[in-house]
Chain A
Amino acid sequence: MRVGVNGREHRIEVHPLKRLLDVLREDLKLTGTKEGCGEGECGACTVLVNGEPVCSCLIPVAQVRDCEVLTIEGLGDRHPLQQAFVQEGGAQCGICTPGMIMAALSLEPEAGEREIREALAGNLCRCTGYTAIIRAIRSA
């Protein structure tokens, strides 16, 4: 099946019910997307499908056929959000960070704290570094 990932066309032969997360990590070797809870609570596996944040651990790959998927690797390593997370100490253990950044991508540049908290409602940080995460997103 055809799926676009980070601006590149991929033709992959996998079981249609394989999780998008596993296709990204195992078949495409894009291991920046993390697995956390497996039940849609933690947001560590967040990627964008056609521009919308989703949990890649809850999506069979058949449901992204012919879609455009964006993962943390698709941002390169100089994206303003990534730099802000570094500068503001927005990453501690780092497991939640790719998901946090992918979820934050949907925010308007002028988003305030309320909008940021709402956009990140589906992302948990078990180091509980929320203050620095929100500070990083505000500064980006």
Chain B
Amino acid sequence: MRTAVSRLTLLEPSSLGEALRMLDADPSLQAMAGCTDLYVDFNFGVLQRRRFLNLWGLEELRYVRRDDSALRIGALTTYTDLIESPEVHRHAPILAAASREVGGAQIQNRGTLGGNVANASPAGDTLPVLAVLEAGVVVESLSGRRRVPLAEFYTGYRQTAMRPGELIVELELPPAEGAQWFRKVGTRAAQAISKVVMAGLRAPQPRLALGSVAPTVIRLPNTEACLAGGGGIEQARRVLEQEIRPIDDLRSTAAYRTKVASNLLARFWSDTQP
């Protein structure tokens, strides 16, 4: 049954500074951005929290800009913003590709990159992309900003390294040399949670990340090392099949996921052949 709205409280900051002060005063506040995940919980009556912090209006967190060290994306940048950004197409084309496969236009218009990271789903479509591009998650609280490498951001199923009072403010994407590759496998192209999602970077030290095969998004260090060492794709596939431990759940089976991940690796390797 839907959550009764009368039991809930909403705080509405008009700046990031005000939002951080509100969160500092009450760390139990649940941040809300585009609500495309949060309001599903609302509709199904499984909201965990009662007090909310509305970030949607904070335009200062909606930007894509590039400087000498990175492509910087504000946490409230929507998937539609990413799809339409020439900077994203130039420097992180797989981020645009992943955004295009998040739901339909209705979801792309509201869902945000910061929200996808904060929601910490193992099936988050953009997370393998951020893992392969070795993104930094920039979080801020009243005591200042810090950068958490994506590889250290997820500490367990739906668990993050964020501390009380912190908000995600930016995703920082350092330049990545090489061909970028992304593929989502689900029941249907749009509107389906992935069974397996893979991102790859074809470089002298190839990088690979998978979603939906573990409690968090994962990199594949053994498979990457095999490819970097010239092990060849058949050997790399065998390494990958040993390296991941997916589970059976309502969307798919462990055996299917392993097979598809292995096939995706082969596809990545042939699609990105120099």
Contacts and interface: CB of A to CB of B under 8 A. Distances in A.
Report the contact-size class of chain B (Cβ under 8 Å from the partner): 20 to 34
B106 A60 contact: no
A29 to B, nearest CB: 19
B234 interface: no
B60 to A, nearest CB: 17
Contact of A46 (B43, B44, B57, B106): B106
A43 B10 contact: no
A22 B189 CA distance: 30
B103 interface: yes
Contact of A63 (B43, B54, B103): B54
Interface in B173-205: 189-191
A18 interface: yes
Contacts of B39: 19, 57-60
Nearest to B41: A39
A71 B213 CA distance: 40
B243 to A, nearest CB: 32
B106 A54 contact: yes
Candidate in A16, A46, A123 with the most chain B CB atoms within 10 angstroms: A16
Interface in A85-136: 103, 106, 118-124
Report the contact-size class of chain A (Cβ under 8 Å from the partner): 20 to 34
A103 B106 contact: yes
A38 B38 CA distance: 11
A54 B54 contact: no
A60 B12 CA distance: 12
Interface string B102-130: 01111101100000000000000000000
A60 B47 CA distance: 14
Contacts of B160: none
B12 to A, nearest CB: 6
A25 B101 CA distance: 30
Contacts of B191: 41, 121-122, 124
B58 to A, nearest CB: 12
B51 to A, nearest CB: 10
A40 B44 CA distance: 12
9 contacts: A15-B8, A16-B12, A40-B40, A43-B106, A54-B110, A57-B39, A60-B35, A62-B12, A103-B104
Interface of A: 15-19, 38-41, 43, 46, 49, 52-55, 57-60, 62-63, 103, 106, 118-124
Given A38-B2, A122-B104, A122-B191, 17 more contacts: A16-B10, A16-B12, A17-B10, A38-B44, A40-B103, A43-B104, A53-B105, A55-B106, A59-B39, A60-B35, A60-B39, A62-B54, A63-B57, A119-B105, A120-B104, A122-B103, A122-B106
